[in-house]
Amino acid sequence: MASAAGGASGKDWFDCLPDDLVHHVLSFLPALDAVRTSVLSRRWRDFWVSMPRLNVDVGDFRDDGQFENFTVHALPLLDSSVPLRSLRLRSSLHYLSALWVNHAVKRKVAVLEYSGRAELCSSVDASLSLASSYLTKVVLKHFDFDYGQFWPLIDACPALENLSLKHLRIVSCLFYNGFRINAPNLLTMCLDDVNVNGPLGHDSLVLENLSSLMTASVSVYHCFYPKHYVKTELHFFHGLSHARNLKLIAPLYEALFEEGLPTCPVFNNLKCLVLGDWCMAFDLYPLRCILRQSPMLEELCVELGEEECENCKNRKPAFSYGEISPFWCDRLKTIKIKCTEHDERFVALLQLFCKILVCIEEVDIDRQWVSAQPPDSSEL
């Protein structure tokens, strides 16, 4: 048996594995299971304390009490001198989550993925800190955010503000008044299934100084148009004006997008554009407005997957739209329209394209049938 397990010498095969390989294997395990490997052999007793990646999921524990006990006893034993490549954390226990995040920051973590509860957005613990010059990627899911709660965390991190933040993804989160994203080195940004709360006059979500942005996706699946709000000109689109690829998905109607149209900038770099139902409002005004401001556009996709919101059918525009001067989309070569089989808006789109395309016969127009249901956020 000894020979079969460890070779001719009878040595335990666990002791034959190189340290780097052991750490690589442990990186795929949940933190709880990684700790349990300490009983495999004497040599493995302390491998888990220097894992280069941590995967901590409250769902792996019997209850919150077991997770708290694990955090209290295991976290202090981790080797803080070993740089951490990534932390993947899922927990709704804010004070315990802050301990894990703060530990990761001390270990110069590069990638942070932090998720709260899917069924209920959580707030960020006041003791959590992202003050680091090493973070290059941040993924946040299921949180309530406002400027006072979250953005000071980013402001305290010069690398995120000036150098290192390249990719940002925020999923299923609630933004309150004055939330700002200011990251001049950001390359990709995904705000998926976001919800904006608060009076629009306070600029609930502001995107600014995103001069390096290449690809951006903003998806809002819950119609937001409060009965009472402060009428103002939002500058939401200005932060997206440098993007080459842009996706804006929202139902009819969505104030976050609509209120930014009067000051819509020119998208000089935009090559590929995807728009949702919101662009069809008010005789296709949003669509016409953005197309006019996208002189370099080559590919357009219009995804019509939802019915018009019952509460908004009789709503009047928040401001006077006025006329859009004639324009041509002379670089537009590919158009995709995703809609249900009997969606009458398809004809309206064709009528518009006949007016703005130099030669519609040279444009590839593809109609794709979809079922009448909201889009799946997992596909974005």
Of the listed ranges 144-153, 201-210, 242-251, the one predicted with least confidence: 144-153
Categorize the per-residue pLDDT at 374 as very low, low, confident or very high, splitting at 50, 70 and 90.
very low
Q: What per-residue confidence (pLDDT) applies to 307?
A: 61
Categorize the per-residue pLDDT at 26 as very low, low, confident or very high, splitting at 50, 70 and 90.
very high
Question: Is 75 in contact with 104 (CB distance < 8 Å)?
Answer: no
Question: Is 377 in contact with 247 (CB distance < 8 Å)?
Answer: no
Does position 156 have pLDDT exceeding 60, yes or no? no
Q: Locate all alpha helices (DSSP H) within the chain, ordered by sequence.
A: 2-6, 19-26, 31-36, 64-74, 94-106, 151-155, 158, 255-258, 281-292, 345-356
Check if CATH label 3.80.10 holds for domain 52-307+326-366.
yes
Question: Is 300 in contact with 307 (CB distance < 8 Å)?
Answer: no
What are the two backbone dihedrals, phi and then psi, of residue 378, each rounded to the nearest 5 degrees?
Answer: -70, -15
Other beta carbons within 10 angstroms of residue 345's beta carbon come to: 16
Does position 295 have pLDDT exceeding 90, yes or no? yes
- pTM of structure: 0.68
Determine the straight-line distance between the first and last CA of the chain, rounded to whole angstroms. 52
Question: Is 270 in contact with 296 (CB distance < 8 Å)?
Answer: yes
Mean pLDDT confidence for 229-252: 79
Does position 10 have pLDDT exceeding 70, yes or no? no
Does position 292 have pLDDT exceeding 80, yes or no? yes
What are the two backbone dihedrals, phi and then psi, of residue 167, each rounded to the nearest 5 degrees?
Answer: -135, 130
pLDDT digits (tens, 9 = 90+) for 39-94: 988 888 999 999 999 999 999 999 999 999 999 999 999 999 999 999 999 998 88
Instruction: Give the span between the Cα atoms of 148 and 132, in whole angstroms.
Output: 19
Instruction: Give the span between the Cα atoms of 151 and 149, in whole angstroms.
Output: 6
Q: In the chain, what are the domain boundaries?
A: 52-307+326-366
Q: What per-residue confidence (pLDDT) applies to 3?
A: 41
337 pairs with which residues across the strands?
302, 367
